[in-house]
Every structure is written in C-alpha cells, then in structure tokens.
Chains A and B, each alone.
Chain A
Amino acid sequence: AQSVTQLDSHVSVSEGALVLLRCNYSSSVPPYLFWYVQYPNQGLQLLLKYTSAATLVKGINGFEAEFKKSETSFHLTKPSAHMSDAAEYFCVVGGSPFPRGAQKLVFGQGTRLTINP
C-alpha cells in the first residue's frame, strides 16, 4: 500500500525567500514520486518527478526536490519565491500499478503556497 502526507496545509513566505514544502511518503514498493502544481480553476501541471535515478530532481520554474529514502521524504524547495509561485502544490506517490498496467497515483491533500510582497 502507498500513502503520502503533506505536512503543511498552508505555507506563506515573502517574495524572494526560500520555499520549502514538505512531503513524506509510505510505499511497499520502490516509489515513483511527483510534485504537481495547480493554479486556481486549472488542471494539474507536473513540476518534477523522481523515478529512481538521481536523488536530487530539478523541475520547472526553479523548483527542485530531494528523495531521501532513509527519511521517506520528498520535500520541494525553491531558493527564491516569486509572486507567480502562489498556487496549490500536490505531492504524489506512484509505482504500485493497478492490474493491466494502469498507474495508481496517490495524492497528498495539497499545500497552498501564499507569497507575500
């Protein structure tokens, strides 16, 4: 079974400050891990993914995440926040497929990121 916990429902930072969104996962199989971003009333956009290659994963818009197996964590960071980063962020775990190969993705509850001017 797989699960994911986003440790903060809401994070608020100042423009230019470090962004840290925390995610812990549980998986009985080697996981695939993803971060998605959702702007208001829009679909989800893939920020980055970890699929057992490099543990430090770089994504779009200056975001990156580090896979730490010992801590079962996959925290998302960005060195300097921009106003356009305000959105909802979802940590997602996959890798335990449904029968016949469909990907089973388990979503966290989301973290709302607010950027203060």
Chain B
Amino acid sequence: SQTIHQWPATLVQPVGSPLSLECTVEGTSNPNLYWYRQAAGRGLQLLFYSVGIGQISSEVPQNLSASRPQDRQFILSSKKLLLSDSGFYLCAWSPRGTEAFFGQGTRLTVV
C-alpha cells in the first residue's frame, strides 16, 4: 500500500531564516505531487505541483520554492521566511487523475 510521510510536524522559525520541508511517498512510482498551504480558518491553497523529477509548476507567486530531486521526494523551501509564511503546509500525492492523498501536515510558525 502507498504511504506519504511529511516532516517535521511542527516548526518555529525566526523571520529571515531558511526553510526546508520534506515529503516522501512510498509504494508507488511516478506520482503527481503537490504542496498546499492552509491559513488559519481558511481553505487549502495549492502552492506547487509536480508531474515528474525536476518538473515544478507554481500556482501562486510567493516567497517559496519547490524541488523534486527524486521520483518520490518533494521539498518545499524558502531562503528567507516572512511572517506571512506561517500556516499549515500539506503535501499530497495522486495517481494519474482522481483523488489526492495527504500527509499529516507541518505547522509552521514564523516569529
């Protein structure tokens, strides 16, 4: 069966510090991968998606970037965090088409 791992679960970072969140999927190959952000009391906003190694598409301009160095690894990064980057970050994967399966999320607080 397929599983998705996302870490860390919580993170407190100072403004201006770098960020690296990692997500890995097991039990499948060539998945579509996604990063979402959920601000407090709001729905999910798609940040990035990837259909293959090194192929990243950004949905919204922002202070973040994503990379996919391996087939089942998806990384969300920032060089310098802003207060507005605080939120709940969710990684997800999907087979070709239909539903997505989510990781447990990372609660990021920028102070």
Contacts and interface: CB of A to CB of B under 8 A. Distances in A.
Contacts of A34: 99
A46 B44 CA distance: 15
B57 A43 contact: no
Contact of B43 (A43, A98, A100, A110): A110
Interface residues of A, number: 25
A101 B99 contact: no
A84 interface: no
A101 B97 contact: yes
A49 B98 contact: yes
Interface residues on B, range: 20 to 34
Interface string A80-117: 00000000001000100110111111011110000000
Contact of A103 (B32, B57, B88): B32
Contacts of A108: 43
B49 A43 contact: no
Contact of A94 (B99, B102, B103): B99
B57 A98 contact: yes
Interface in B56-101: 57, 88, 90, 92, 94, 96-101
Interface in B19-49: 32, 34, 42-44, 46, 49
A102 B50 CA distance: 7
B108 interface: no
A100 B94 contact: no
A90 B92 CA distance: 15
Contacts of A109: 42-43
10 contacts: A32-B99, A44-B44, A46-B99, A51-B98, A90-B43, A102-B32, A102-B51, A102-B57, A103-B98, A107-B44
Interface of B: 6, 32, 34, 42-44, 46, 49-51, 55, 57, 88, 90, 92, 94, 96-105, 107
